[in-house]
Amino acid sequence: MTDRLKDSSSQDRPPAPGPDGTAAVSGTASHQTMVQAEDRPTTRGQRAIQWLSAVGFFRILGLVVALVVICAVGAFTAGGNFANSDNALTILRGAAVVGVLSIGMTFVITGGGIDLSVGAILALSSVWCTTLATQTMARDNHWLVMVFVALAVGAGCGLVNGILVSYGRIVPFVATLAMLIAARGLAEILSDKKTQIVDVDGFTDVFASDYLGIDFSIYLFGLVAVVGWVLLNRTTFGRRTFAVGGNPEAARLAGINVRRHTVLLYVLVGVCCGIAALMLVARTTTGTSTHGTLIELDVIAAVVIGGTLLAGGRGTVTGTVLGVLIFTTLTNVFIQNQRDSSEQSVLKGAVIVAAVLLQQWLASRKSAT
């Protein structure tokens, strides 16, 4: 009986301290530690691969490879007409307007929404900032009046979209579809379905000029891309965007004001519409209700190709920029080879379907593991 009590008490006692004053590790604990050590990456290479995979490097690498392949095809089929610096600048200039819109769209889709009205808001902003009254104020005061009007109109339309989605509880597809129709109609009313010519010298001198041989719109695209990347990846606003898009209810329980944040996302894409409108007005020296017709399709396609999930919760500005460049370069290759635009549309559709199928496959693999 005494021996049994001794045995049980010895089992209940903690392990005796070692010579340095710390408790000795039992056999079971040491075995678990060895198993955990075996599960960890044993080399720096494995840890590096895991880190690169976590930050989405391999998804971006695939986009880079696709862009390089398209450029190689263009250089092989079109020769010197494609592979020169002037054509490279043409591609970047063509990507600027769609790129700015796509960066704003990346935030909205990452946050679990979508905006079909970006093209119509762009048109309305371009018309409003080029009306006779606006241009007269710009000439009398400063050309920045046109900039302010374009940004204010874009932000205002985004605010309406955000309120309808967040507080009106209207599905984003329906709310932004209504804005698409209304904004385009309002642009036609303001312009009387006529093209408005820009004659404010200060505005065109800044927005339509080249600096160091590079169009100002390219600099503006780069600036928006950098600001968008920092905002999405290095700020609380970006982290909240991922949280809202991934699980709105969990984000609400974590203390995030989901409705207010959703409104801000739509205001953000509205501001991007205003910036894109200024770029397009400067390029064409006109404001018209036909600006940006169907551009929302290219914008959404570029964001999806870039790796942003349509379901929300994951987005990448770098991938979006590469997606825009892929589509713009592909268009340039078709133009250089004098191919029919219908063939280009078919290929774009195939690329979009392939990208969505790849997203679904990767999501299913992740959920299975």
Residue 369 is predicted with a pLDDT of 57
| 206 SS3 class | helix
The pLDDT tens digits for 138-175 are 998 989 999 999 999 999 999 999 999 999 999 999 99
277: exposed, middle or buried (Cβ count in 10 Å: 0-12, 13-18, 19+): buried
Residue 365 is predicted with a pLDDT of 63
Average pLDDT over all residues of the chain: 84
Query: In the predicted model, is pLDDT for residue 6 greater than 80?
Result: no
Query: In the predicted model, is pLDDT for residue 135 greater than 80?
Result: yes
Of the listed ranges 272-286, 290-304, 333-347, 349-363, the least confidently predicted one is 349-363
Residue 58 is predicted with a pLDDT of 62
Per-residue confidence band for 187, with pLDDT thresholds at 50, 70 and 90: very high
Residue 61 is predicted with a pLDDT of 79
Of the listed ranges 17-31, 63-77, 256-270, 320-334, the least confidently predicted one is 17-31
Q: Looking at residue 249, what DSSP letter applies?
A: H
Residue 10 is predicted with a pLDDT of 45
The pLDDT tens digits for 279-333 are 999 999 999 999 999 899 899 989 988 889 888 888 999 999 999 999 899 889 8
Spatial neighbors of 308 by CB under 8 A, at least 6 apart, are: 106, 109, 110, 314, 315, 316, 319, 320
Of the listed ranges 72-81, 171-180, 253-262, the least confidently predicted one is 72-81
Which phi and psi (to 5°) does residue 23 adopt?
A: -70, 140
Length of the chain: 369
Residue 193 zone, left/alpha/beta (φ > 0; ψ -120 to 50; rest)? left
The pLDDT tens digits for 66-120 are 888 888 988 888 877 888 888 899 999 999 999 999 999 999 999 999 999 999 9
Q: Is the whole-model pTM more than 0.95?
A: no
Query: In the predicted model, is pLDDT for residue 13 greater than 90?
Result: no
Place of tokens 């396609």: 301
